[in-house]
Structure 1
Amino acid sequence: MLPENLCDFPFTVLINFTNNKIETLKNFSCVKKLAFLDLSHNRIKNICKSFFHGLPLPWNVNLSFNHISFLEPGTFNDETLSLNNLDVSHNSILVLDISNLLLSKTFCNISYADNKITSFTNKAEKPIKYEDKFSDVGFLDLSFNNIQSIPNFEELNFGKGYGFLGKVVFNRFIFQVISNPIVCDCFLEEMLWNIRNVRHTFKTDSDFLGYTCSYPVNLQNVSIVKSFVYNNTFDELVCKLPKCPRQCKCVFQSSQLRIIIDCTEIFNENVLPTFNYTDMVQSVKGHSKLSETTVHLLLSGRQIEILDKRNYFLNLSYLDLSNNKVETIKESTFLELSRVPNIKLNFTGNHGVLKLPKGLQLLNPNSVILNNVTIACDCELISWFMQWLNSREIDLKRLGVTCKVNSYFIPMQNVTDSDLLCNQDQNQNFSLVFVIGGFLIFLVIIFFVYSKYGHYYFLFRKCLSKSKQYSNFKYDVYISIDEENDEVLRYVGTKFLPMIENLNLKTFMLARDSEVGGVMEECMIESMRMSRTYLFFLTSTVLTKYESVFVREWKHAWNNFISNNKHDIFFINFDLLRLKDLNDKNMKACMIFGKSVNFSDFDFEDKVRKSL
């Protein structure tokens, strides 16, 4: 531990406690003139912010070759400190807070070399902010650590952070990162692309600073500055995507805004691969260019025979099916692809005979490469396919498309109507259309006549086959009146019913004969079913009541009448209504066919007896 009487020497300038067994520290602020402090080669594990608080002079600190694993955020960025050189190398720091790296006051050298640093934080009491003022110059040594990539600025609360990175570079901080396992991938491309306008600041010898790739293997020892920054070419900086379709390789090439799914080597299915796009890009979801990215699916030279839609089509921009065996293309496939802007399909050299659906017309002909393919041709395909190509002035001869007609293979530009038997088919089609058209017209006429005059047909049929079978019915006559019309109710009760009963006819009236407390509608239906003739008293009062008992009785009576030849209908025109007074066309038909008698007729009673 440190000497107890350290504060008795406030004007001490240099303290050298190297090669001891010191494990803990205390505040050094009582040594006001301290400028050099060497605590290297000890056993210190933790460094707290309070240890060095209040030392105003430019000073040098050596904490190398200890066991430091914890360095409190903001320890060396205190506003009371003036730091010149800091050496914290050869320790065990795993996570480094940037407040101990990017200081607000000018310094010369800070070294965290030979630690175990893998990531960075920004968790000081006063976290580093974009608008903070930084030192004008400084050399930062992070060599021999485990840093694989630049810090995630979003996680450090700098947004995408490239403005912050530009500010750091502008302040001429020099970072040395020798022997770190730097991965040169799409995230490095993202950073380099965003700082490309300040690349002149990288004039320092990049190899000396360790700006070289360790991974992937194909970029090992490649200089980041010389190969990428100065040349401004980033196509080799890609991210491998682990959740890739089986037998394929997937990379995110952010420089070209595309995800390449390469299935050209061992993919042996006869349909398109399936994958979940969201799951596949999970590992790069934080990349700023992902939202602009589309998928390039490469299947050249495989065995694809069927092209049907997939749920990733909306993310697709290029589908390479050249030199495959595609024959069947679902109509829904082109319907789905037509929703994708700037889609490009390549069928060059397809070995199968393509059966093209009409949905192909939804795509731009310039977006579909059909060089040296064979198509199953018929009259219909030739008509729309040629128009589709001509819409973009595409030279059919240069395409080299071949038509398969029956068992013959003919260059499409040489195919004639006689080869396809188009005239014969057309004549047959005209004949078929004529027959079908005539039949449809006939059906329309029949439907019109039936809908307008069908009720007359039923009445005419009833008149021809009228047959009274008294023994089959419980009631001979079912009488329906407007029960709210006192005049007709009085007449029926005092005169009409006695006349009918003198003829030994059994009658039923709902108001008189229905059971007390019973369901009226059920009683009405059952009684009508057991009645031979339905007798209706027509009065002017029934014309304005659309939901009355009389109207419901009439609907049931008409349905029974047209469906069963045993029932009959008769009207007594009590108020001498004219045909034009009636709104119901079925009632009108009954009146026209003589199934009624006027109450004023001289021989009224005789006509009623004959009808019942």
Structure 2
Amino acid sequence: MIMGTYTYCSPDGMKDLWCNIHSSCYTNKNSKYGFEFINQCLACKAAPEWEIPLPNVTYRSLDVEIRDVIGTESMLLTDQEFNSTTYFRFVHSDGYLKQLPRNICKFNIVLIDVSYNLFEEIGNISCLQTLDTLKMNENRITFVSNKTFAEMPKLSKSTCKNPEPLRGINSENLFYNTSLQHLMVCDVQDGCPKVGQCKCVRTFQPITDSLIIDCSNQSCNDLPDVVPDTRHKIVLFMEGNQIRSVNSKYYFKDVKILNLSRNPIQSIEESIQNFSNDAEIIITDHLLDSLPRQVQLLDPNVFRFGQNGIPCNCDNRWIGEWRKIKKARYPLFCSNFENVLIEDFIIHSTECDSRQDTLLILYSLIPLTIFIVLIWKLRHLRYDVKVLKNQFLPIDKKIQRSWQTDIYISFDEDNDDVRRFVLRRRELNTYIACRDSWPGSTDEQNIVMNLQRCKYCLIIQSSGMYDLDKTKSCTNRMEYRLAWDMFTDKKLCKVLVINFDKSKTETFQALKTKALYRLGMGFKIYDRKRSLNEKLLEVFNEPLVTNVKHIRQRKRRISAYLWQQSKYKTRPLKMTNNKVMYQNEVD
């Protein structure tokens, strides 16, 4: 249908529009963008049917009656008859209305102009099915609900007030003027992040598909811990605060821009790697001395360091190598050299090469040192292993049946104090060489024969006991060696070493003695914290049952041996108080 220079069109199937047949939308220039683009163009440039002088269509104005002084109660009035083909316009500018008239839904209103009133919100106007143009310039509107313009298929024009560059511009004009589209933002009140007293403002910018969180100049000392859930990229403005450390946040992967300019940044956590390579991190005015190694996982062009640099030294040399390899475009200067990029510093850092060579040599020595220490430890602990093994292995029962005495005592017989100490011990059945050795046998024979008949061995060490210039030192040394060998061969149950007088006997069998001490088979007489009797009972905890038969048999053997010696007229060795004492005679 054609009316004058206008032809009917409805690009979306809902709005009844009239398009000028001479419209620029039909030019060849726009045709290359396709039919959909032309329809969008026509939708914005077409005139509604109430502006076309169509037959049987009436266009009238409405009056308003304000019923209170605060502008919340009002009614629309007309003194003329009207029907479904009558269209109205409601214009009331420079007033004090706060709400639209109560009966506004009764009329086919196509234009509303309530500019320069006191509206704070629009309210639900979805009943205005025929509304084409809505003008509310210079009001106090701070909130528009998602349902405000729902079910209003004819609405095609609305004007902006803020921001300033968009004031008075029809929203459809923004479709063509892309230079203004970035200024279209939506204030979002829900979920605004807050960091202590640091308050943030949250807006949404459709053209860039970005959620903008602005916490600038709020004395913040950290990034927000929580940001609203969103499918959009995050733009976070934090400039002009007191942030000293960039701490890890879960939303780093969704950040498109992080502006930390004019903050005294001194450190960055390793979680910086969670940013994407498409991010832009602005940290001009920083106080950094280095960067975390994890930044090597990012493109260096993510960062904008500005004129502030970092120290160019051997520790930071890797930063220059990273930036050089990945072809950084934005500069990072040396703070300790004027107008020198850190990439250029690595070319002249020959002293770092010599330092690295030195460190390489030192690092190569570490495994060798560890190996030597390990060998030294194993050498010293090999006796501990033997002692531990013997504590868990059982002793052959045939060897156990050969035991006739509880303890073999090895000590310095020339030391009067030790001898008196030993001879007073009556707790267990013992073998003492100066008292119990067989006459006529050599020291070696007595040591071997009697150690084999004892369950335990007690070694009482005293000063000078193992000195080579002493008569009995060879005997004492032999007793220690044989006792150790029999103990490790599971022929002796246990060995206990006692230090009698703080003697310095470490030079003889020192490693073996230390192993016994470490594993609880050593005792110091002068240690007042524990009793010797308690230690003896602890180590020699299972004495042999006293066997009277063995005692009688031993006496018979000694008597028979003495009778045999007298029979061959053996010369007595010593005469004391008219009593003949043979060598090694038992009391």
Tell me the TM-score normalized by structure 2: 0.43
Instruction: State the TM-score, normalized to the length of structure 1.
Output: 0.41
